[in-house]
Amino acid sequence: MKRIVLTAAALLLLGGPALAQSAGTWGPGADDAAFAQMLKASFKDRGIAKLDRLSQDETQAFCSDPVASSGPAAAARREEIEKANLATVKWPSDGTWMGDWKEGEKIAQSGRGNTWSDKADQPNGGNCYNCHQISAEEISHGTIGPSLLGYGKTRGTSEDALKATWAKIWNAKSSNACSNMPRAGHMGILNEGQIKHLMALLLDPRSPVNK
């Protein structure tokens, strides 16, 4: 019985060029070379969105394979990636963690920035409401991320809470290797001042998030 199976497998392997091309998660015809070739032929620079955006860093490459990046076998690698991302976090330069929650709300509302139709000199939005519930007044919010309603009320403003929140916003992959959340500080989407405003939106007791 065993022998027959083995023979069949061997036959399959030798079977045809299509099958031989099969690579890991991806089926025949979608190996690295074919995929790279497709990318190269299919995209072009436009505005501020240049082709170099398709060159992946380690995190992006790892997280682009849903099979290889999940499960127990990938645990060690995930941890490595989280560590590397945590090392990129730049802490507040002047020791203050929080800005103005009202400014934070504006940043959270805005989804602008970094597309090929945006200009480089306009401040970027944080895209926060696209995925999170934040203040109760805004009913038009997404659900890809967890609700942040009452965020500061449940966590307080201890050093640990401040640090964890800052790290999450600066580089979301520092605590979850393949989080869906962009790395706002690390990738230069938001600057330090904007992140402080978002910190205030989440943690300031006066913010509507904590009312």
Residues that bind other proteins (CB under 8 A): 18, 25-30, 34-35, 38-39, 41-46, 49-51, 53-56, 59-61, 63-66, 109-118, 125, 127, 129-131, 136-137, 139-144, 149-150, 173, 180, 182-183, 187-189, 208, 211
How far is residue 15's CA from residue 24's CA, in Å, rounded to a whole number?
A: 18
> Of 38 and 73, which has the nearer Cβ to other proteins?
38
Task: Write down the least CB distance from residue 93 to other proteins, Å.
Answer: 22
Task: Write down the least CB distance from residue 171 to other proteins, Å.
Answer: 11
> Of 162 and 198, which has the nearer Cβ to other proteins?
198
Query: CB–CB of 102/84 below 8 Å?
Result: no
> Of 42 and 93, which has the nearer Cβ to other proteins?
42
Strand partners, 23: 26
- Name which of 148, 122, 111 is nearest 133 in CA terms: 148
> How would DSSP label each residue in 59-115?
HHHHHT-TTTTSSGGGHHHHHHHHHHHHTTPPPPTTS-----HHHHHHHHH---SSS
Task: Write down the least CB distance from residue 150 to other proteins, Å.
Answer: 7
> Of 102 and 112, which has the nearer Cβ to other proteins?
112
- Name which of 142, 139, 150 is nearest 180 in CA terms: 142
Task: Write down the least CB distance from residue 173 to other proteins, Å.
Answer: 8
> Of 7 and 116, which has the nearer Cβ to other proteins?
116
